[in-house]
A and B are shown apart, each in its own frame.
Chain A
Amino acid sequence: IAGITQAPTSQILAAGRRMTLRCTQDMRHNAMYWYRQDLGLGLRLIHYSNTAGTTGKGEVPDGYSVSRANTDDFPLTLASAVPSQTSVYFCASSDYLWNNEQFFGPGTRLTVL
């Protein structure tokens, strides 16, 4: 692994289903982030994590949850997906929270029907 990986690459999901988007980084970065990118709205922060064991809410956290059990992994869970959660989701990491350059994963394209 080099950098940040996300899985799946894309997913079509029925409304009401539970879905977990996976994110793994191998740079030993302390901070990790989840964004969604929508046409006309740009990138918006969903949740972030300062270090393993701590998380925080971003601009659009409703309907999403995260956990940070270890340094490398930062999964994003949609407990009951809704069509408005159709988006491209990007995971990112940085050495320290907000201070340094953010490195982005390749994204997960999610469609909720």
Chain B
Amino acid sequence: KQEVTQIPAALSVPEGENLVLNCSFTDSAIYNLQWFRQDPGKGLTSLLLIQSSQREQTSGRLNASLDKSSGRSTLYIAASQPGDSATYLCAVRQERNRDDKIIFGKGTRLHILP
């Protein structure tokens, strides 16, 4: 059964630093992987979607990479800002015709210190 793990559960870094958030998954037979942001008391906002055939995706200061064979993805945030403080979740979609459908990690709670 697919398991998605995000370590650390929480992270505090000073403003302006570059940082990396990690996501690992146990079954490499995924269709795609998506990174989300969730602000307190709010729903999830999609940040980046990486198809299984892709290695990375970029949007502004965000860069997500995918190493399917090793079961890992990273979300790189450049020049962090206090507005980046939120919980970041990754989610994997299984390949078609598998029992598991979409599995979320529990998230990394990020706090950017002004």
Please give the residue numbers on chain A whose beta carbons come within 8 Å of chain B beta carbons, in ascending order: 4, 33, 40-45, 48, 58-59, 90, 92, 98-107
B93 lies within 8 A of chain A by Cβ: yes
Chain A residues positioned under 8 Å from B49 (CB to CB)? 100-101
Q: A101-B49, A105-B43, A107-B42 known; A41 and B106 CB under 8 Å? A: yes
B53 lies within 8 A of chain A by Cβ: no
Chain A residues positioned under 8 Å from B93 (CB to CB)? 98-99
Question: Binding site of B, secondary structure by majority: helix, strand, loop or mixed?
Answer: strand
Q: Is the CB of B43 within 8 A of A106?
A: yes
Chain B residues positioned under 8 Å from A92 (CB to CB)? 44
Q: Is the CB of B46 within 8 A of A103?
A: yes
Please give the residue numbers on chain B whose beta carbons come within 8 Å of chain A beta carbons, in ascending order: 31-32, 34, 36, 41-46, 49, 89, 91, 93-94, 96, 101-102, 104-107
Chain A residues positioned under 8 Å from B91 (CB to CB)? 43, 102
Q: Is the CB of A101 within 8 A of B46?
A: yes
Q: Is the CB of A43 within 8 A of B104?
A: yes
Chain B residues positioned under 8 Å from A41 (CB to CB)? 106
CA distance A16 to B101 in the complex (A): 30
CA distance A104 to B34 in the complex (A): 13
Chain A residues positioned under 8 Å from B96 (CB to CB)? 98
CA distance A33 to B91 in the complex (A): 14
